[in-house]
Amino acid sequence: MNANDSLERGIADVYEREAPPRAPDWVLVSILDAIDETPQRRGLIPAPWRFRPMNTFAKAVIAAVAVIAIGAVGLSVLSPRNPSNVGSAPSTAPSAGPSPSPAPSTPPSPDPSAPPPLSSFFMSTMHGISLRYPAGWQVSKATKVWTGGALNLPSPDIDYIYDPTLYGDLFLAVASQPLAGKTGDTWVTDFISDPQSDCFTDSESITVNGAKGSLCGTVAAISVADRGYFIRLYTSNDRSWLGDHYDQAWFKGLLETVHLRPSDAVDGPGSPSASQSS
């Protein structure tokens, strides 16, 4: 055996030892949640019918059945060395929460629990951005491109991620648009200085996913490539205790999960139907 063989065998051994045998259950559940909200691109195959979105229970059942079926038939998808790479069914599906309601029927809790972990995943195919958000929150996806202007919510041009128990009082809003001839710095400055951004404090420079921007309270504006993004955390003054938990430090933690994908935006350079796969 020469040195190359020894080194290559060593690499393989290290990989075998380090590779996690399973992804956490919530990863699959989160993916299934995300695809419910994600339309498919128009492709080569005409869709003769449409399937209704699944509820969370159905997802858990399907995931369980899928795992069992795969184990039973030995379907070793992507597993040239380790055919039994699929574990048991997800057991920790995030709570579905009630349907959005314009007016919560329960009074606000004076002593809310700490924010849920950022374990849910959202990828915006409209605005070209992904991020993690608190478990149990729900998503209202944008259906139109955002051309700026009013940030009134809910709005069809803004991705809206909210706590279903505090509808309208606690949410994240996300959108992006082309810079349209502006420099990135100018776009960010213009956005932050716009009264509609609700920025009434000093702003600070931030870097989100390698892109520069500005943070004012819990409103972030970032530019990357030829696109400007805003991400906003809103907490209602009517429930002042929300701001104690969902403060700027919490928001900065959420910003660390953001990935900016300008080419994925609907009106970005890599717009839907432009890509073709093998």
How many residues sit close enough to another protein to count as binding (CB under 8 A)?
75
Task: Tell me if 117 contacts another protein by CB under 8 A.
Answer: no
Task: Tell me if 14 contacts another protein by CB under 8 A.
Answer: yes
Contact 108, 91 (CB under 8 A): no
Task: Tell me if 225 contacts another protein by CB under 8 A.
Answer: no
How many other CB atoms sit within 10 Å of the CB of residue 53? Answer: 11
Which one among 206, 259, 267, 271 touches another protein, defined by CB under 8 A?
259
Task: Tell me if 205 contacts another protein by CB under 8 A.
Answer: no
Which region, judged by CB under 8 A, interacts with another protein, from 64-72, 165-173, 181-189, 237-245? 64-72
Task: Tell me if 223 contacts another protein by CB under 8 A.
Answer: no
Instruction: Select 53 or 149, whichever has its Cβ closest to another protein.
Output: 53
Contact 146, 231 (CB under 8 A): no
- Residue 116: is the preceding peptide bond cis (ω within 30°)? no
Instruction: Select 37 or 194, whichever has its Cβ closest to another protein.
Output: 37
Buried b (16+ CB within 10 A) or exposed e, 99-125: eeeeeeeeeeeeebeebeebbbbbbbb
Task: Tell me if 75 contacts another protein by CB under 8 A.
Answer: yes
| Footprint of another protein on 131-160 (CB under 8 A) | 132
In angstroms, how far is the first alpha carbon of the chain from the final one? 39
